[in-house]
Amino acid sequence: MEDVKQKNRSRLCSICNDKKAALKRPKTQEQICRECFYSVFEEEIHNVIVDNKLFKSGERVAIAASGGKDSTVLAYILSELNRRHNYGLDLFLLSVDEGITGYRDDSLETVKRNEIQYGLPLKVVSYKDLYGWTMDEIVKAIGLKNNCTFCGVFRRQALDRGAALMRTDKLATGHNADDMAETVLLNILRGDIARLSRCTLITTGEDGPIPRCKPFKYTYEKEIVMYAYFKKLDYFSTECIYSPNAYRGFAREFIKDLERIRPSAILDIIRSGENLRISTSTKMPDQGTCERCGYISSQKWCKACVLLDGLNRGLPRQGIGRTRGAVLSKDREQIRTDSEMKGSISQSKPCGTLDF
Ligand SMILES: Nc1ncnc2c1ncn2[C@@H]1O[C@H](COP(=O)(O)OP(=O)(O)OP(=O)(O)O)[C@@H](O)[C@H]1O
């Protein structure tokens, strides 16, 4: 009898001790009810925003919106928290249309619906307008291998250009804790000390035109998926048709395996990255501006100009590959095929970026 009572009690939410537990929280393994999940999830993100002073009142903030689960949840949560806690932010959605038929055109339809659902104005910038090439055309020229390098480099700059057009003060991206842990691990595996030293920063580019921040730096991907699912948010969950099987995919799988055995592994890897002390003899790149387009670059020409020049001259392989010590010359390929939750929830990931 006592056992049965105990069992019934243990099914109660371990936070409110009142409602029935509806889920096991991936980050802490606590059995909690939906309402408590919403509130701890939202409160944790609010605390990250406040503790790290991510925004200032009156700022115009562009949310980089791909239509995927992370940026959709980010758009929803930021607009909620902005209202609830009076952040005083002017929020916008900014999407990059890479020109990938059957993938980005569909996910952009989701962002257009989000624009109406959340009342956030949307700006779309396209590779075709900015560079004269769509990803479909680039893949035709270069093939599937290495196409993520073009996409990652162009997207990074496209987001900056879009944010500048919108006169925003900051750009917020949906990178989550899993992305962050994966990036730490990849930088270790690649011996990229320059990137390793700054890949765990929650805000980057503060010396550049538009700083970028990652409010989901400590938020587990599984929890983002759960939140989107329970809140019935409208997001797009198909994998990029050009996403190849690459090194990043293995790092991702490795982290997922670690998480299964020890859920704190993701946070532990991030903390390790944050606490690394980089030797003072490590050569750091000097930040300058591209002689061609004026965009920030540690080389004479920025990576986007090098790649674009190669494409336009019929030498699409120009600028592909690794230059030791150079910051902007990494493969940004990755695969993600995991479907983390039971039922209809599936996750997708187009191209990962090592240094967003
Ligand atoms: N086409 C795009 N337009 C605008 N922002 C983008 C685009 N692609 C990626 N981003 C931004 O970069 C973040 C990380 O992108 P990544 O390619 O790693 O996809 P992801 O982790 O699956 O994120 P999401 O679920 O939001 O698509 C996204 O959350 C989003 O903020």
The number of the ligand 1 atom at minimal distance from the alpha carbon of 336 is 22
Q: Does the Cβ of 183 fall within 6 Å of ligand 1?
A: no
Q: How high is the pLDDT of residue 295?
A: 82
Q: Does the Cβ of 173 fall within 6 Å of ligand 1?
A: yes
Contacts of residue 284, defined as CB under 8 A and 6 or more positions apart, other chains included, come to 194, 197
Which residue has 């009156």 as its token pair? 58
Q: How high is the pLDDT of residue 5?
A: 55
The number of the ligand 1 atom at minimal distance from the alpha carbon of 104 is 1
**Ligand 1: which residue has its CA nearest to atom 14?**
175
Alpha carbon of 97 to ligand 1 centroid (Å): 12
Q: How high is the pLDDT of residue 1?
A: 53
* Nearest residue to 71 via CA among 159, 192, 193: 159
Residue 89 sits at φ, ψ, to 5 deg, of: -100, 150
Q: Does the Cβ of 182 fall within 6 Å of ligand 1?
A: no
Cα separation, 90 vs 221, in Å, equals 26
**Ligand 1: which residue has its CA nearest to atom 28?**
174
Q: How high is the pLDDT of residue 163?
A: 96
pLDDT over 70 percentage in the chain? 85
Pairing of strands 60-64, 90-97: parallel
ipTM > 0.95 for the complex: yes
DSSP line for 305-354: HHHHHHHHTT-TTTT-S--TT-TT------------SSTT---------S
- Answer positive or negative: Cα dihedral of 132, 135, 140, 141: positive
Mean of per-residue pLDDT scores for the chain: 86
Phi/psi region, residue 67 (left: phi>0; alpha: psi -120 to 50; beta: rest), is left
Q: Does the Cβ of 336 fall within 6 Å of ligand 1?
A: no
Q: How high is the pLDDT of residue 2?
A: 56
Q: Does the Cβ of 107 fall within 6 Å of ligand 1?
A: no
Contact 354, 342 (CB under 8 A): no
Q: Does the Cβ of 99 fall within 6 Å of ligand 1?
A: no
Cα separation, 204 vs 198, in Å, equals 8
Alpha carbon of 301 to ligand 1 centroid (Å): 26
Cα separation, 243 vs 235, in Å, equals 19
Where does the pLDDT of residue 299 fall: very low under 50, low under 70, confident under 90, or very high at 90 and above?
confident
Q: Does the Cβ of 259 fall within 6 Å of ligand 1?
A: no
Q: Has residue 340 got a pLDDT over 50?
A: no
**Ligand 1: which residue has its CA nearest to atom 23?**
70
Alpha carbon of 71 to ligand 1 centroid (Å): 6
Residue of 61, 71, 155 with the most ligand 1 atoms within 8 Å of its CB, for mutation: 71
Q: Does the Cβ of 73 fall within 6 Å of ligand 1?
A: no
Alpha carbon of 271 to ligand 1 centroid (Å): 23
Burial grade of 91 (CB within 10 A; 0-12, 13-18, 19 or more)? buried
Where does the pLDDT of residue 69 fall: very low under 50, low under 70, confident under 90, or very high at 90 and above?
very high
> In the predicted model, what is the mean pLDDT of residues 100-122?
95
Pairing of strands 122-126, 90-97: parallel
Q: How many CB atoms lie within 10 A of CB 43?
A: 11
Alpha carbon of 117 to ligand 1 centroid (Å): 19
Strand (E) or helix (H) holding 280: none
Contact 79, 119 (CB under 8 A): yes
Alpha carbon of 140 to ligand 1 centroid (Å): 23
Q: How high is the pLDDT of residue 10?
A: 66
Alpha carbon of 64 to ligand 1 centroid (Å): 7
Alpha carbon of 13 to ligand 1 centroid (Å): 33
| 258 alpha carbon, distance to own chain's centre | 21
Q: Does the Cβ of 96 fall within 6 Å of ligand 1?
A: yes
Q: Has residue 355 got a pLDDT over 70?
A: no
pLDDT digits (tens, 9 = 90+) for 263-287: 999 999 999 999 988 777 767 777 7
> What are the residues facing 202 on neighbouring strands?
none
Q: Has residue 44 got a pLDDT over 80?
A: yes
Higher pLDDT pick, 63 / 341: 63
Q: Does the Cβ of 70 fall within 6 Å of ligand 1?
A: yes
| pTM of the model as a whole | 0.87
The number of the ligand 1 atom at minimal distance from the alpha carbon of 71 is 26
Between CA 154 and CA 149, with CA 276 as vertex, the angle to 5 degrees is 15
Q: Does the Cβ of 177 fall within 6 Å of ligand 1?
A: no
Cα separation, 201 vs 337, in Å, equals 27
The number of the ligand 1 atom at minimal distance from the alpha carbon of 221 is 21
Q: How high is the pLDDT of residue 261?
A: 95
- The b/e string for 17-42 (b: 16+ C-beta within 10 A; e otherwise) is eeeebebebbbeebbbbbebbeebbb
Q: Has residue 346 got a pLDDT over 90?
A: no
Name the range with the highest mean pLDDT among 125-134, 243-252, 345-354.
125-134
